Amino acid sequence: MQGGLLAVTVQGRHRYHRLAGPEVAQALEGLMVLAGAGTAGRRLPARVGAELSEARTCYDHFAGRLGTAIHDALVAGGHLAVAEGGYGLTASGEGVFAALGIARPDKPPRRALLRPCLDWSERRPHLAGHLAAALACRCFETAWVLRRKDSRAVTLTQAGRAALAAALPGFVCDAPAPVSRERPEPAPACA
């Protein structure tokens, strides 16, 4: 924004504010160390229920820790390439989706094939787009993920966890560490 410390991402009717870059993050981390409020082992309490934070649908694709774990494993494995309007699939990415039983459409879909969607509970992106919706459908068809009655929350089954981990090396979707309400001891000053 004006000072160049924050950037705004518009997604539909929502506006999401984030730090403008890694330099701003480093400056804030430095201030936190000086203030004695280090972040090691500390996680902010979620403002949503644990079930929605764990795994849910966001329109027609997965969100929460499940959605971000899929996104992170695809990015870390080099299966996604940044493209105009979203992500493109690399050759290895095509293989991942094929291993999960999802074929790339013959004709270009009306919406982006893959794109980032900011996750409001995890505060980082999960995967949206045509193939993300196809992945969600496949997971429901195979009972890798089960819907919960009257809720957007879903449950990742053990079979689903194993199938995603087999097709997507690096996939980890575990419960977070408990939230610590204690302030950590400040780090000793360097001599």
Per-residue pLDDT of the chain (191 residues; tens, 9 = 90+): 678 888 888 888 888 888 887 777 667 766 665 565 444 445 555 556 888 889 999 999 999 999 999 999 999 999 998 877 789 899 999 999 999 999 988 888 888 899 999 888 888 899 999 999 999 999 999 999 999 999 999 999 999 999 999 999 999 987 655 544 454 455 444 54
Q: What is the pLDDT of residue 33?
A: 57
Q: Could you write out the three-class secondary structure of 12-40?
A: CCEEEEEECCHHHHHHHHHHHHHHCCCCC
> What pLDDT is recorded for position 37?
46
Angle at 173 between CA 171 and CA 177, to 5 degrees: 130
Task: List, in sequence order, the alpha helices (H) in the chain.
Answer: 22-35, 50-54, 64-76, 91-99, 130-141, 158-167
Buried b (16+ CB within 10 A) or exposed e, 156-188: beeebbebbeebbeebebeeeeeeeeeeeeeee
Output the pLDDT for position 191. Answer: 44
Q: Give the pLDDT confidence score for residue 75 in this predicted structure.
A: 93
Q: Could you tell me the pTM of the whole model? A: 0.70
Q: In this predicted structure, what is the pLDDT of residue 23?
A: 77
